[in-house]
Structures are given as structure tokens and as C-alpha cells.
């Protein structure tokens, strides 16, 4: 197992290239199961979760190639309909093969993904929606079996705008004749990216980025050539690392419109963001690295403040000149990073879904442990501002979501190295 060793504080300068979005790439890769034809997808980040998807697709009978951020998928043999526990437990997003496989073969069996450190994360919303399309759900030895004699288009409303359920149902509906109307959909930009991919495959999709999505499916879908959108969570993370470290950092291959809520928060905290507002292109983050003003946030479905940036935001607020509040509305157990930040001198009280952060003058480097992808990112934000040496353990979590993060940060001036534990 590797560790990161970070010597701080050190201001950052220069440019960082943002990678393709993990959370957009995973459903688009799952969507390749909808067709027999060849699919070529570019700007796919080289991450552990993408490699897990590579293994899953290969196991299911696809033949994948991945290199230089280009992923190609061909159908090598008859596809299996069973995603086993060993592959699903590594990555919750494996559940996204359910929609495409159900649509194509009218039957899919997959291992229940189980909980993770940030919450129970059930899949009831996905399963209820499959039932509305005419499927039956049963359970056997920890697996879910979803099957249907015939799937039919329908109008259905999600009880919560789940990102994964919206994606799974869009993919399933893309192979069902007639118009399926999904209400109370998630509006995350990754869903619009999936809609773009499904349209390239020949489905008619309307209304992505709104709460109601209409999909007019086809009997057969075509192959796909597509380029994945920039990673908005990586973008927000680098904005927060730059804001905590101080200096002037420009993020390339990304777009300010993807991170409006974070940019607004940073501006309130006293960080200069350009371009302010809405133009495409890069983003420059500039600050003197002094203590920010306290800014409270509540995590919400998009366009609200993203839960995936809550932990990095907490790390940034740990040095604020005053008290701020975080309300985590999406996941019930997403404050594991608070205890690690406290080891670095932060003053935080967590009660249920709320955290009160009383900003301190200085954070101090310490040995800490990443408990999930974004908790790990939060420790890098804290280490960027902390005095002394921070050693971050279990960085395999960080590797699930951030491509070559230490190379990017080192180029921008951070003293960071990866060492074998
Ligand atoms: C996706 C993202 C993840 C992000 C999350 C919320 C991917 C690969 N992952 O996860 O990074 O943190 O959106 O923005 O895109 N829920 C249920 N029943 C369900 C489904 C969800 O109760 O059937 C609950 C979850 O437990 C959670 C909330 O709804 O509390 C949001 O989950 P969801 O939007 O589905 O997140 P994911 O798609 O798993």
C-alpha cells in the first residue's frame, strides 16, 4: 500500500489539466452493453474504477482495449447476464450494467453492491423503476435477479433524484420501443453526457438537465464514438487545493459552468476566481493563502453544492476566520474525514448530518488515513495548507477518483511524493 507524503505549506502556480469525468465515463462504458457494435470512447480517465469496469465488461463477454485515455469495446462472444460479487463489490457503479443488460436480454443477475463507508446506499429506487417497466425482482444468495417477459415503456417518478437510478433507467429505456417518461430525475451534468452518448447510439432523448427526461427507445442501437466531459469534481477539488495552498493556479480542459456552486462559495470566502460567472474555457484560482472567510454550505442534488466536494470544503474551512456549518443532505455517514482533520488541529463538531467547523489559525501536518475517495482529497486540501509533514495512508481510495494527482500537483509546485508504506 502506498502513502502520500506532503510537505506544506507551499503555494501553487501554473497550469493543471483536468481529466475526463469518472462519473460520466462509468455509465457511458456501461451503455456499451446496449449494442453489439463497436464503441470508441475518448477522454476516459485512467483510474481504478475504470479498470474495474474494464474487467467487468471483459468478464461479461465484451473485448475492451484501454490506453492513452481511449477506451474501445467490441462484442467478442455471447454476453453473460451475471455480474458477480467479486467484481461488483469493488465498485458500486457496477450496478449500472443492470439497465443495459435487462433491456438487451430481459434478464440480469447481479450481486447486491452492499453499503460503503459513506452510507447504506440501497438500490431500491433502481429496482422499483425496473418494476414499473414490467420487470420482476427476486433475490437469491445475495444476488438480485431482474427479469421480464417483455419490457414496456412507461411514465414513472423517482422518489428521490438518484443519479445512478436515473442513468440505469435511461439506458434501459433506450432499448424499449415507445416513449418512457422519467420524472424527478437527477440533473447532474454527467446525466446530460450519458444522454448525448445514447443519442449517438440512435435513441431519442429529451429533457436531460431537467427533472423530466423522455426517452424514445429503438429495437437496436448503434455503436458509439464519443468524448467524455471534464471531471467537475476533480475541478472543484483542485480549486480547493489551490485556494488552501495560496498562489495562482489555472485549470485547463474544464469549464466554470460545471462548478458554479463551488465557485460562488470560494468567492464568498475571498478567493478570486476567473472567469467569474459563466464562460467556457479554463478557470484561474488566485488567493494569498491567508485564512478564508467562513462560508456555510448544504449539500444538495445538482445544481446544489455537490456532496462529493463536502469533505474538501470542510478541509478548506478548517482554517477560516470564524465558524461555518456543513449540512450533509445526501449521505447519512459522510463525515469520516472530520476525525482525521482534527488530528491535524482542526476544531470540528459533528452531530448527525451537521458539522460545525471553528476555523483555526494553523493546521499541522500529521499521519492520517483516507477513508474514501473524497475524504482522501480533503486530506490533500488540508495538507496543502498545513505546516509540516502530512503522511496520508490508504491512498488507493484517492486513486479510484483522481488521475495522476501527485504528478499534477508536483508540476504546480506542491512537495508531494508517493512512497511504499
Ligand atoms: C453518484 C456518484 C457519487 C455521488 C452521488 C451523489 C457515480 C458513479 N457516483 O452516486 O459520486 O456522491 O451520485 O451525487 O456517479 N439512494 C437510495 N436508493 C437508491 C439509490 C440511492 O436510497 O436506490 C440514496 C443513496 O443512499 C444516497 C442518495 O440516494 O443517500 C443519493 O444516491 P445516488 O444519487 O443514487 O448516488 P449514486 O448514483 O450512487
Per-residue pLDDT reduced to its tens digit, 76-110:
889 998 888 888 877 888 899 999 999 999 999 98
Instruction: Name the maximum alpha-carbon separation found in the chain.
Output: 64
- Please give the grid coordinates belonging to residue 55: 474487467
DSSP code string of 282-329: -EEEEE--SPPPP--EEB-STTSB-GGGHHHHHHHHTT-SSEEEEE--
Nearest CA owner, ligand 1 atom 33: 162
Show which of 204, 227, 250 is a domain's final residue.
227
Catalytic hit among 39, 116, 185, 216: 116
- CA-121 nearest atom, ligand 1: 26
Element (H, E) at 26: helix 22-31
Please give the average per-residue pLDDT across 377-387, as a whole number: 98
Residue of 389 and 120 predicted with greater confidence: 389
Please give the average per-residue pLDDT across 256-274, as a whole number: 96
Number of H helices and E strands in the chain, helices first, is 14, 24
Alpha-carbon span 269 to 265, nearest angstrom = 6
Q: Name the pLDDT band for 111 (thresholds 50, 70, 90).
A: confident
Which range marks the domain in which residue 167 is found? 22-227
Same domain, 283 and 193: no
Of 315, 359, 347, 310, which Cα lies nearest the Cα of 332? 310
Same domain, 182 and 249: no
Q: Give the three-state DSSP class for 364.
A: strand
Same domain, 300 and 194: no
Q: Give the three-state DSSP class for 336.
A: helix
Neighbours of 37 (CB within 10 A): 15
Same domain, 234 and 352: yes
Nearest CA owner, ligand 1 atom 24: 121
Show which of 165, 192, 227 is a domain's final residue.
227
Nearest CA owner, ligand 1 atom 36: 163
Please say if the pLDDT value at position 121 is more than 80: no
Output the CA 164–ligand 1 centroid distance in Å.
6
Please give the average per-residue pLDDT across 340-351, as a whole number: 98
Mean pLDDT, the chain, rounded, equals: 94
Alpha-carbon span 254 to 17, nearest angstrom = 8
Output the CA 165–ligand 1 centroid distance in Å.
8
- CA-93 nearest atom, ligand 1: 8
- Using a 6 Å cutoff on CB, does residue 125 contact ligand 1? yes
Alpha-carbon span 99 to 203, nearest angstrom = 15
Please say if the pLDDT value at position 277 is more than 80: no
Output the CA 147–ligand 1 centroid distance in Å.
23
Same domain, 132 and 44: yes
Q: Structural domain tally of the chain?
A: 2
Output the CA 186–ligand 1 centroid distance in Å.
10
- Using a 6 Å cutoff on CB, does residue 124 contact ligand 1? yes
Same domain, 208 and 98: yes
- Using a 6 Å cutoff on CB, does residue 130 contact ligand 1? no
Same domain, 112 and 241: no
Show which of 192, 227, 262 is a domain's final residue.
227
Same domain, 199 and 246: no
Task: Give the pLDDT of residue 87.
Answer: 82
Substitution candidate for ligand 1 out of 258, 259, 330 with most atoms within 8 A of CB: 330
- Kindly tell me the burial class for residue 15, based on how many C-beta atoms sit within 10 Å of its own C-beta (0-12, 13-18, 19 or more): middle
Task: Give the pLDDT of residue 276.
Answer: 60
Please say if the pLDDT value at position 278 is more than 50: no
Same domain, 200 and 348: no
Please give the average per-residue pLDDT across 18-35, as a whole number: 97
pTM value is: 0.96
Residue of 319 and 76 predicted with greater confidence: 319
- Strand-by-strand arrangement of the 178-183 sheet: 155-157, 178-183, 213-217, 204-206
pLDDT (tens digit per residue) in 186-234: 999 999 999 999 999 999 999 999 999 999 999 999 999 999 999 999 9
Same domain, 321 and 362: yes
Output the CA 334–ligand 1 centroid distance in Å.
12
- Please give the grid coordinates belonging to residue 346: 482542526
Same domain, 214 and 326: no
Output the CA 248–ligand 1 centroid distance in Å.
34
Task: Give the pLDDT of residue 117.
Answer: 72
Please say if the pLDDT value at position 113 is more than 70: yes
Same domain, 140 and 288: no
- Using a 6 Å cutoff on CB, does residue 123 contact ligand 1? yes
- For residue 185, what is the domain's CATH number? 3.65.10.10
- Using a 6 Å cutoff on CB, does residue 121 contact ligand 1? yes
Q: Name the pLDDT band for 184 (thresholds 50, 70, 90).
A: very high
| Annotation says 172 is catalytic | no
Residue of 112 and 281 predicted with greater confidence: 112
Please give the average per-residue pLDDT across 236-250, as a whole number: 97
Q: What backbone torsions phi and psi does residue 152 show, to the nearest 5 degrees?
A: -130, 145
Amino acid at each position: 500500500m502506498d502513502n502520500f507524503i506532503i510537505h506544506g505549506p507551499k503555494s501553487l502556480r501554473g497550469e493543471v489539466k483536468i481529466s475526463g469525468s469518472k462519473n460520466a465515463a462509468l455509465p457511458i462504458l456501461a451503455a456499451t452493453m446496449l449494442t453489439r457494435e463497436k464503441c470508441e470512447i475518448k477522454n476516459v480517465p485512467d483510474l481504478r474504477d475504470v479498470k474495474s469496469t474494464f474487467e467487468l465488461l471483459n468478464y461479461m463477454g465484451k473485448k475492451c482495449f484501454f490506453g492513452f485515455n481511449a477506451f474501445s469495446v467490441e462484442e467478442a462472444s455471447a454476453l453473460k447476464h451475471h455480474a458477480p460479487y467479486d467484481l461488483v463489490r469493488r465498485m458500486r457503479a457496477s450496478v449500472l450494467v443492470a439497465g443495459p443488460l435487462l433491456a438487451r436480454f430481459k434478464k440480469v443477475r447481479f450481486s447486491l453492491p452492499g453499503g460503503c463507508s459513506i452510507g447504506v446506499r440501497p438500490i431500491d429506487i433502481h429496482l422499483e423503476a425496473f418494476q414499473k417497466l414490467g420487470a420482476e425482482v427476486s433475490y437469491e444468495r445475495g444476488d438480485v435477479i431482474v427479469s421480464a417477459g417483455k419490457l414496456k415503456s412507461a411514465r414513472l417518478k423517482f422518489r428521490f433524484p438518484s443519479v445512478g437510478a436515473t442513468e440505469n433507467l435511461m439506458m434501459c429505456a433506450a432499448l424499449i420501443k415507445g416513449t418512457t417518461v422519467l420524472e424527478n430525475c437527477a440533473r447532474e451534468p454527467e446525466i446530460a453526457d450519458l444522454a448525448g452518448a445514447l443519442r449517438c447510439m440512435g435513441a431519442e432523448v429529451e429533457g436531460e438537465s431537467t427533472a423530466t427526461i423522455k426517452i424514445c427507445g429503438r429495437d437496436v442501437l448503434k455503436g458509439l464514438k464519443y468524448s467524455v466531459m471534464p471531471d467537475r469534481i476533480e475541478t472543484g477539488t483542485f480549486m480547493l487545493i489551490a485556494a488552501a495552498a495560496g498562489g495562482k493556479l489555472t485549470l485547463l480542459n474544464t469549464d466554470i459552468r460545471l462548478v458554479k456552486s463551488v465557485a460562488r462559495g470560494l468567492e464568498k470566502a475571498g478567493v478570486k476566481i476567473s472567469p467569474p460567472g459563466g464562460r467556457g474555457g479554463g478557470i484561474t484560482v488566485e488567493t494569498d493563502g491567508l485564512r478564508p472567510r467562513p462560508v456555510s454550505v448544504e449539500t444538495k442534488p445538482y445544481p446544489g453544492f455537490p456532496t462529493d466536494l463536502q469533505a474538501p470544503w470542510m478541509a478548506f474551512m478548517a482554517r477560516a476566520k470564524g465558524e461555518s456549518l456543513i449540512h450533509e443532505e445526501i449521505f447519512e455517514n459522510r463525515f469520516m474525514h472530520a476525525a482525521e482533520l482534527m488530528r491535524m488541529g482542526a476544531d470540528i463538531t459533528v452531530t448527525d448530518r451537521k458539522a460545525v467547523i471553528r476555523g483555526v489559525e494553523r493546521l499541522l501536518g500529521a499521519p492520517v488515513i483516507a477513508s474514501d475517495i473524497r475524504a482522501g482529497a480533503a486530506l490533500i486540501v488540508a495538507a496543502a495548507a498545513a505546516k509540516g509533514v502530512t503522511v496520508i495512508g490508504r491512498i488507493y481510495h484517492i486513486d479510484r477518483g483522481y488521475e495522476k494527482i501527485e504528478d499534477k500537483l508536483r508540476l504546480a509546485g506542491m512537495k508531494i511524493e508517493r512512497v511504499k508504506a
